[in-house]
Amino acid sequence: MSNIYTKSNVFFSGHGIWKPSYGYVQVPRGVTIHFYTLFAKMFRDGMAEKILKGEPTEIERTHEEFCQVPNMRLTPLGSFGTQRDARWLNKDYWGQNSMVMGLREGEEMFLKEFFLDCKREMLQGDHLVIRWLSCSQLVGFHVAGGKGYGVNATDFSHDPERPSRYRTRMCNHLYERIGKFEQWL
């Protein structure tokens, strides 16, 4: 079995959720984590395919070593989803040491647990890049009506060259108002 701590790019494939009680965790020495969605936003399969195949895709948030990040909880995407993601991985683009990591059914993992393993296993000078191919969803806000105001909304454009498209009442309402303001200028 290969040592994931010597990989240059590890793609986390699964469902990512966070709630305030999970707290925050410090990114360990030698680790960088990239999120392809804004916080409290959903992640679409089409985005994963583009990223893994090496097509240009915007990274929304990058956290370097020693930064605080939400202690995200990763749950399984299912073996089909993780296997599909692994087939999409373009190693010619991302490097031969890159890999897709998913969890088995019934398992879950917090970033804190993975980061503790990194601290134990990584050697001085090792560098690991984690690419979070999961949602950054806030738990509980969907039921409370948060989606209508942009919480846990999904960007359906999948295109960094075009504006984001969200199916929400509040965002669409704001876009309409912004359009009116532009007409007044």
Whether 184 is covered by a domain: the verdict is no
98 located within any domain: yes
**Per-residue pLDDT, 24:** 92
Report the candidate in 161, 150, 68, 151 with the shortest Cα–Cα distance to residue 115: 68
0.75 exceeded by the pTM? no
Residue 64 lies in a domain: yes
Residue 145 lies in a domain: no
Query: What SS3 string covers the chain?
Result: CCCHHHCCEEEEECEEEECHHHCEEECCCCEEEEECCCCCEECCHHHHHHHHHCCCCCCCEEECCCCEEECCEEECCCHHHHHHHHHHCCHHHHCCCCEEECCCCCCCEEHHHHHHHHHHHCCCCCCEEEEEECCCEECCCCCCCHHHHCCCEEECCCCCCCCCCECCHHHHHHHHHHHHHHHHC
Give pLDDT, residue 5.
55
- Is residue 51, in this structure, part of any structural domain at all? yes
- Decide if 158 is inside a domain: no
Q: Look at residue 145 in the predicted model and tell me its pLDDT.
A: 46
Distance CA 121, CA 64 (A): 18
Residue 182 confidence (pLDDT):
37
Q: Are strands 61-63 and 31-35 parallel, antiparallel or unpaired?
A: antiparallel
* Domain assignment of residue 116, yes or no: yes
Q: Is residue 174 part of a domain?
A: no
Give the structural domain span for 123.
4-139
> What is the number of structural domains in the chain?
1
Q: How far is Cα 45 from Cα 78, in angstroms, rounded to an integer?
A: 13
Q: What is the pLDDT along the chain (185 residues), one digit of tens a residue?
A: 345 555 689 998 888 888 888 999 999 999 999 988 766 666 777 888 999 999 978 888 899 999 999 898 888 887 678 889 999 999 999 999 899 988 888 899 999 998 998 888 888 888 899 998 877 665 554 444 444 444 444 554 555 555 555 444 444 444 444 443 333 33
According to the model, what pLDDT value does residue 42 have? 67
